[in-house]
Amino acid sequence: MDMSQVACLNVVGLAGRIFIRLLIDTFIKGRSMDRKKLIRNLADIGKDILVAFAVVALVMLALFAYCGIWPPMVVVESGSMQRFDDRSAVGIIDTGDMVFVKKVNGIDDVLTYVEGENGGYAQRYGTYGDVIIYRPNGLTERADGTEVVPIIHRLVVWLEVNDTLVNPAFDGIDYQNYTFDVPSLGLYNTTEDIVLLNYGYWRENVTIELGLAGGLLRYYEYLNAVPHGGYITMGDHNVPAYDQPLSGAYEPVLPEWIVGKAIGEMPWFGLVKLKVTGTNLDGVPGNSWTNLFITVFLILLVPFMFDILSPRAKKIWRERREKISDSGTEPVGGGGATPPTGRTDAPAGKEEDIAESPSVGELAPANPAEKAK
């Protein structure tokens, strides 16, 4: 979702507020909708639209400065990261969520599931490891010119290719002697399967195959490509099927293929873009639309209630101040009111006694006789 789409959402909300204000004036307050009133309200709409674009522009610039990437947010189009099919949850990446994206400057800027679990780091979106947005195989478009949509999945583990045993005189690619190192698990020069026990929210076992019998090396052999390392990734909804290559023709993710990492979300609001652009909405959890409508309703309700209650609150406060001023009673919180000229609330003959009364901390005499002494 780009800046113009976000601005449009804000404009819709502000225009809704003006429309509600017109309804209040016409039907609740019984005011006639004369020409001057209409022009004034239209001017308010115009000012609100300008303010909306200005505020959105400032917010987007601030996000760009922090995230270091444009646009600083993406809309999730599939359900590969959501936890449930039938309901969405705040803090989990679901179809239709808007996710904020931060630029990644190398492997030190991200954390895998294995590193997060071993180091006891805080969980992100429901479990360990950063969630990244990456371009599969580093591609931005296919051979036919269509765009390759980036994938948003979780980093599972980092692999490094070990070619120390490769025969340089071999005619072709010596797949038999390629191995992998997995530093985060203390594994080196191996082609054995990696087994991650009780992975993620569902506590399923995940087996990552590396060898020529059907694992990552077999995939490279099929492509007749030189093996390389990178990140193994997986969608939370796809467990235990990881991306390389069991879930698709994706190679381990190189750092330069990473667009950014997810750092936050605005749940449900991306559904507006998906609906407008005609994206398939079959995977959207049922309660996402309900939550979106409730959220938009509350956003409109707040200014609606403010327009109704603010004048009443001001009127009550003004009447209270006038009443205090008329009575000469000191308001709560200090700053007593001055009695009107010519009016004395204290009984005659008591003026001196009031002036001479003991201050806080003095002991007042028990009776007038003691005071005279």
pLDDT at 31: 52
**Does residue 185 fall inside a structural domain?**
yes
- Considering the domain architecture, whether residues 155 and 251 belong to the same structural domain is answered as yes
Cα–Cα distances in Å, from 39 out to 22, 42, 43, 62, 71?
12, 5, 6, 35, 37
User: Collapsing DSSP states into helix, strand and coil, what is residue 144?
Assistant: coil
- Considering the domain architecture, whether residues 281 and 256 belong to the same structural domain is answered as yes
- Considering the domain architecture, whether residues 15 and 133 belong to the same structural domain is answered as no
pLDDT in tens, 48-104: 778 778 888 888 888 888 888 888 999 999 999 999 988 899 999 999 999 999 999
**Does residue 26 fall inside a structural domain?**
yes
**Does residue 360 fall inside a structural domain?**
no
In whole angstroms, give the CA distance from residue 274 to residue 6: 13
pLDDT at 315: 78
- Considering the domain architecture, whether residues 12 and 47 belong to the same structural domain is answered as yes
DSSP per-residue string spanning 327-366: HTPPPTTS-PPPPPTT---SPTT-HHHHHTSPPTTPPPPS
Task: Provide the b/e sequence for 86-99 (b: ≥16 CB within 10 Å).
Answer: eebbeebbbbbbbb
Q: Closest by alpha carbon to 312, among 28, 74, 8?
A: 28
**Does residue 151 fall inside a structural domain?**
yes
pLDDT at 354: 34
pLDDT at 185: 96
DSSP 172: S
Q: List all residues 6 or more positions away from 154 whose beta carbon is below 8 Å from its beta carbon.
A: 81, 113, 125, 127, 129, 130, 131, 132, 233, 234, 235, 236
Cα–Cα distances in Å, from 228 out to 220, 231, 244, 252?
9, 10, 12, 8
Question: Kind of pairing, strands 73-75 and 131-134?
Answer: unpaired
- Give the residue from 298, 313, 335 where a domain finishes: 298
Q: List all residues 6 or more positions away from 371 whose beta carbon is below 8 Å from its beta carbon.
A: 365
Cα 119 → chain centroid: 25
- Give the residue from 35, 67, 99 where a domain finishes: 67
- Considering the domain architecture, whether residues 287 and 162 belong to the same structural domain is answered as yes
In whole angstroms, give the CA distance from residue 153 to residue 278: 23
Residues in the chain: 373
- Give the residue from 67, 96, 117 where a domain finishes: 67
Q: Extract the tokens encoding 219.
A: 């995939």
- Considering the domain architecture, whether residues 18 and 122 belong to the same structural domain is answered as no
- Considering the domain architecture, whether residues 178 and 78 belong to the same structural domain is answered as yes
**Does residue 327 fall inside a structural domain?**
no
- Considering the domain architecture, whether residues 24 and 104 belong to the same structural domain is answered as no
**Does residue 16 fall inside a structural domain?**
yes
Q: Extract the tokens encoding 187.
A: 């594994």
Q: Closest by alpha carbon to 196, among 82, 80, 117, 107?
A: 117
Question: Could you tell me what percent of the chain has a pLDDT over 90?
Answer: 45
Q: How many domains does the chain have?
A: 2
Decide if 207 contacts 193 (C-beta within 8 A): yes
pLDDT at 3: 47
pLDDT at 335: 45
How far does the chain reach from its first CA to its final CA, in angstroms? Answer: 87
pLDDT at 158: 97
**Does residue 31 fall inside a structural domain?**
yes
pLDDT at 38: 67
CB-count exposure of residue 216 (10 Å: 0-12, 13-18, 19+): buried
- Considering the domain architecture, whether residues 50 and 88 belong to the same structural domain is answered as no
From first to last of its 373 residues, the chain has per-residue pLDDT tens of: 444 445 455 555 555 655 666 555 555 554 555 667 667 767 777 777 787 788 888 888 888 888 888 889 999 999 999 999 888 999 999 999 999 999 999 889 999 999 999 987 889 999 999 999 999 999 988 888 888 999 999 999 999 999 999 999 999 999 999 999 999 999 999 999 999 999 999 999 999 999 998 899 999 999 899 999 999 999 999 999 999 976 567 899 999 999 999 999 999 999 988 988 888 888 899 899 999 999 888 887 777 677 677 777 777 888 788 778 777 655 554 444 444 444 444 444 433 343 333 433 333 344 444 433 3
pLDDT at 20: 60
- Considering the domain architecture, whether residues 198 and 253 belong to the same structural domain is answered as yes
Cα–Cα distances in Å, from 292 out to 94, 95, 212, 262?
13, 12, 48, 21
- Considering the domain architecture, whether residues 215 and 264 belong to the same structural domain is answered as yes
User: Collapsing DSSP states into helix, strand and coil, what is residue 137?
Assistant: helix
Domain range enclosing 278? 73-298
pLDDT in tens, 129-146: 999 999 999 998 888 888
**Does residue 268 fall inside a structural domain?**
yes
- Considering the domain architecture, whether residues 81 and 21 belong to the same structural domain is answered as no
